[in-house]
Structure 1
Amino acid sequence: MDKLYIFGVPIHRVTMIEAVEILKGYLKEDRIHIVATPNAEIIMMAQKDEEYKKILNETDLNVPDGSGVVFASRVFNKPLKERVAGFDLMMEFVKWASHKDVSIYLLGAKPEVVEKAQSNLKNLYPSLKIVGFHHGYFNEKEEENIIEDINKRAAQVLFVALGAPKQEKWIYKNKEKLKVKIAMGVGGSFDVIAGKAKRAPEIYRKLGLEWLYRLIQEPWRYKRMSALPKFAFKVLLARLKGDF
């Protein structure tokens, strides 16, 4: 699969349609496949966290989540096909899975959020096979019980909403124990599905300004958002130096 490296983090050149087809293919293989959704913030995290960067280099699929990643690919004259937002990929796959006998497990977020998320997904797709769910507030002892529950329920797909980099590190640490075919980090997706958080209107997403909408809605996130201008500066500096 063709990929582009942005500051040591691989990004696969896929469209949404191609990404969904890849996930379908993973279900036919007898091993776990780790899916990540790198955006500018995640790439900047990886610059300070070698363990995280290593994990992102060992995942099976890294979709270009975020306008910053697409921006960087164009600046480097290696344009990606399109942005593939992790939330959208999850929902497109869930829509397809609702017509198939695909078992799904939700892990992460607050107890009331993950419960509401699974309820809303079932209301949206009545035939969707959600075999279990668990919140993201657990200790190491409870972790073993959760993994046992995921395996006992024969989940094929595990969506993990613990936030980056925790979700990818958790999946990677437990990849030998998990018997799922797909494990994907989905960040705050459960909050959106549960109606606890609003996604940016389509016009913001089309203009690549989803980050601005989130900052307006959640101004306390400004420290995390500072990664975006730092990323843009790093991209432009690398272009000037020819170091990409």
Structure 2
Amino acid sequence: MDKISIMGVRIDNQSMDEVMSTVADRLSKGEKYIIYTPNTEIVMMCQNDEEFLNYMNKSSINIPDGIGLVYASKIKKHPLKGKVAGFDLSMKLLELADKKGLKLYAVGGKPGIAETAMKNVHEKYPGIKIAGYHHGYFKGAHLGQGGHEEEQKVVDEINMHEPDILFVGFGAKKQEQWIEFNKDKLNAKIIIGNGGTIDVLAGNVKRAPDIYVNLGLEWLYRLIKEPKRISRQAVLPVFMLKVIFGNKNIVKEIK
């Protein structure tokens, strides 16, 4: 079983090692590879947003970035190999870039965040060639203004440096929308929409401690730290109820 559909969102059934093996292969061949990181919340967002659903299903790979997706796959007898967290995959990409001397570019976050993130990356992974960085506060496809001159300048800058890896951190839907609009223009090999990873790398946001991660309770940690997330997290029990009581097509294998 190579891939399944969870409420219409394609989830590729690969382990972290398998994903990284594919990444290394695509890099060696110079082929473009787009990675999205759907979790339970994103799957639920897609239920009421067909445009977002279409974006999600146009990636090269969708990793299961959420223990809820793994539980759902097991409940409906189409088990995934396990959770592949977007943040963890991003760290694996940094390790690979450090080892191979690859070029990295980061776009997203508030002014100054991507710059700080890349400075921290350079200190921890001196083998990485920091190709550049840019904040996400420019007019472009992520704001419904695809093709704006401000966006074209960012794309031109990215292309000038020809990064091996491009981190795009605008948050769910915005980053996928931006990547989808610009993917054929971007001269970058591995492109990953990785949400708040740039903020974590900048030290602006703390990732959940390992005990929460290992128990699949990162959502609880974020909720404790940011109580205002309660409205977003409310979709989690709704998701599980849909899985438990929904028909077999809620989760199905994709042939």
Q: Aligned to 2:28, what secondary structure does the other structure show? A: coil
Moved more, 222-231 or 126-135: 222-231
Contact 1:98/1:125 (8 A) holds in 2: yes
Distance in 1 between residues matched to 2:164 and 2:97, nearest whole Å:
11
What residue in structure 1 maps to residue 235 of structure 2? 227
Percentage identity across paired residues of the two chains: 46
Distance in 1 between residues matched to 2:59 and 2:90, nearest whole Å:
17
Per-residue deviation, 1:68: 0.8
Contact 1:15/1:81 (8 A) holds in 2: yes
Distance in 1 between residues matched to 2:225 and 2:43, nearest whole Å:
23
Moved more, 129-138 or 222-231: 222-231
What residue in structure 2 maps to residue 213 of structure 1? 221
| Structure 1 unaligned regions, length at least 5 | none
Q: Which amino acid aligns with 2:248?
A: G
Deviations 1:143-198 (A, max 9, x none): 10000000011112211000001001100011111111121101001111111111
Distance in 2 between residues matched to 1:7 and 1:54, nearest whole Å:
13
What residue in structure 2 maps to residue 242 of structure 1? 248
What residue in structure 2 maps to residue 79 of structure 1? 79
**Which residues of 2 match residues 107-146 of structure 1 at below 5 A?**
107-139=107-139, 140-146=148-154
Q: 1:53 to 1:29 in 2, by over 3 A?
A: farther
What residue in structure 1 maps to residue 69 of structure 2? 69
What residue in structure 1 maps to residue 11 of structure 2? 11
What residue in structure 1 maps to residue 32 of structure 2? 32
| Structure 2 unaligned regions, length at least 5 | 140-147, 251-255
Distance in 2 between residues matched to 1:199 and 1:26, nearest whole Å:
29
Deviations 1:92-131 (A, max 9, x none): 1111111213211100011221111101111101111110
Q: Which amino acid aligns with 1:242?
A: K
Distance in 1 between residues matched to 2:37 and 2:53, nearest whole Å:
13
Per-residue deviation, 1:208: 1.1
Contact 1:55/1:169 (8 A) holds in 2: yes
Contact 1:40/1:66 (8 A) holds in 2: yes
Consecutive aligned runs of 4 or more in structure 1 exceeding 4 Å deviation:
none
Q: Which amino acid aligns with 1:96?
A: L
Contact 1:34/1:60 (8 A) holds in 2: yes
Per-residue deviation, 1:32: 2.5
Distance in 2 between residues matched to 1:179 and 1:237, nearest whole Å:
45
Per-residue deviation, 1:31: 4.2
Per-residue deviation, 1:62: 0.6
Distance in 2 between residues matched to 1:219 and 1:114, nearest whole Å:
25
Q: Which amino acid aligns with 1:8?
A: G
Q: Aligned to 1:234, what secondary structure does the other structure show? A: helix
Per-residue deviation, 1:27: 1.4
What residue in structure 2 maps to residue 44 of structure 1? 44
Per-residue deviation, 1:29: 3.6
Distance in 2 between residues matched to 1:134 and 1:178, nearest whole Å:
15
Q: Aligned to 2:224, what secondary structure does the other structure show? A: helix
Number of residue-to-residue matches in the alignment: 242
TM-score by length of 1: 0.95
Q: Aligned to 1:71, what secondary structure does the other structure show? A: helix
What residue in structure 2 maps to residue 102 of structure 1? 102
Q: Aligned to 1:222, what secondary structure does the other structure show? A: helix
Distance in 2 between residues matched to 1:243 and 1:186, nearest whole Å:
28
What residue in structure 2 maps to residue 197 of structure 1? 205
Deviations 1:182-220 (A, max 9, x none): 211010011111111111111111111110110000001
Q: Aligned to 1:80, what secondary structure does the other structure show? A: coil
